[in-house]
Amino acid sequence: MERAASIDLKNWIARPQTQTVMDALERGGKSARFVGGCVRDALLGLNVKDVDIATPETPERVIELIEEADLRAIPTGIDHGTVTAICDGIPFEITTLRRDIETYGRRARVSFTEDWAEDAARRDLTLNALYCDRLGKVYDPIGGLEDLKAGRIRFVGDARARIEEDILRLLRFFRFFAFYGSAPADVEALNACRDMAPQLNQLSVERVWKELSRLLLAPDPTQAFSLMSSYGILAHILPEANRSKDLHHLVQIESDLKVQPSYLRRLASIVDLDANGANALASRFKFSNAERDEFSELCNPPDWPDPQADRKRNRLALYRLKPELFIELVLLGATRSPALDWPGLLSFPEDNALPAFSITGQDVIDGGVPTGSDVGNILTQVENWWIESDFTADRDSCLAYLSELITARS
């Protein structure tokens, strides 16, 4: 195995917790190496999130070694060789070098090995089969480094066979393409994905949504979505996405206006759903209540900002939408009709702090209307009158109008 590159030691590798876990593991006499996302991202100069470690030690021995160092060991996926070590609250996933003997669905019967090349061969994509030791030396058993530099997202070995073993890899391919790939995408992989797409129904919806939501948060997922659409992948997992081309505009707008990407906004930009449709999608992907509410408001808002309308009209929209949703809709509106001056409305909520409506049901009751009967209706009439005043009528004026209404009833 050639030394192909090296990684700066002043970062996550040098962190005391990383060193403690590596010390513990290597006390068994065998060298461990970092693998996967941490090596890939470090080589690209990106922030490293989770540290995954590969070791020739068996999982049982890994647990012993970790516990002997007074660290906590959790047998996260002990059957396929994964143990999580916790050091100062930071988790490290440690996986024994392995070969997949037999795969069924998403599961595999594995055999442990001490051969790094065998371990590399069972990984999904070449850019994810890079290792480095604690000195920062990079090991590249299958040419992942070249691919990483060139933005080539390629399966390790035969694309079709690798997806057949584990259908999740199909979605991972598009996610990694969105984050690290450059066009053109690997045709062998795309064709294999198209042929295998009907098998995506083997995945749990939670899995699908987890991958999709991560893919949606790529700096620019447009190309990945457009390929997923033309290769018939979206039809199996997100048939509602009938305007994926809009994603491109939204990404551009987010970047121009320096707005953080949001997976729900991006999802809403590529579908066209009424209230039932939005709810059905939220149920299918098991959204949390907060996600469901936000998504359904994005798809079916109670009002819309309007770049062609006057200030008073937009203040009414702001009142109905509240600032956060108002801004979200400005972004979605700009995506759908880019010729209008949507960005001009972006600071509208900040420049138009609206007062709260000061009349309550109790005021109506105090005015002599029996509890329950018309209290709600009357309150709404006063509120509409107050809105019509462009929110300028104060509490006393509202109370005077309320009293007029009550008098007119009797």
Q: Give the binding site for ligand ATP (CB under 6 A).
A: 36-37, 50, 52, 123-124, 128-129, 166, 168-169
Based on CB atoms, which residue is closest to ligand ATP, 169 or 266? Answer: 169
Based on CB atoms, which residue is closest to ligand ATP, 98 or 266? Answer: 98
CB of 240 to ligand ATP, least distance (A): 25
Decide if residue 127 touches Mg ion (CB under 5 A).
Answer: no
C-alpha to C-alpha distance for 211 and 170, rounded to whole angstroms: 10
Based on CB atoms, which residue is closest to Mg ion, 92 or 285? Answer: 92
CB of 213 to ligand ATP, least distance (A): 12
According to DSSP, residue 243 is labeled -
For residue 407 the two structure tokens come to 């008098």
CB of 83 to ligand ATP, least distance (A): 14
Based on CB atoms, which residue is closest to Mg ion, 48 or 318? Answer: 48
According to DSSP, residue 51 is labeled E
| Among the listed residues 80, 75, 85, 68, the one whose alpha carbon sits nearest the alpha carbon of residue 32 | 85
Decide if residue 50 touches Mg ion (CB under 5 A).
Answer: yes
C-alpha to C-alpha distance for 314 and 125, rounded to whole angstroms: 50
Based on CB atoms, which residue is closest to ligand ATP, 124 or 297? Answer: 124
Decide if residue 324 touches Mg ion (CB under 5 A).
Answer: no
CB of 240 to Mg ion, least distance (A): 30
Query: Could you say which of 37, 81, 307, 349 contacts Mg ion (CB under 5 A)?
Result: 37
- Residue 166 binds what, of ligand ATP, Mg ion, none (CB under 5 to 8 Å, by partner type)? ligand ATP
Decide if residue 46 touches Mg ion (CB under 5 A).
Answer: no
C-alpha to C-alpha distance for 296 and 67, rounded to whole angstroms: 48
C-alpha to C-alpha distance for 310 and 315, rounded to whole angstroms: 9
Run of H or E residues at 280:
helix 275-284
Cα 350 to the center of its chain, rounded Å? 28
264-280: b (≥16 Cβ within 10 Å) or e: bbbbbbbbebeeeebbe
CB of 36 to Mg ion, least distance (A): 5
- Residue 124 binds what, of ligand ATP, Mg ion, none (CB under 5 to 8 Å, by partner type)? ligand ATP
Decide if residue 77 touches Mg ion (CB under 5 A).
Answer: no
Based on CB atoms, which residue is closest to ligand ATP, 263 or 385? Answer: 263
* Single-letter amino acid code for the residue at 83: V
C-alpha to C-alpha distance for 171 and 233, rounded to whole angstroms: 9
Whether residue 342 contacts residue 334, with contact meaning beta carbons closer than 8 Å, is answered with: yes
CB of 381 to ligand ATP, least distance (A): 55
Give the binding site for Mg ion (CB under 5 A). Answer: 37, 50
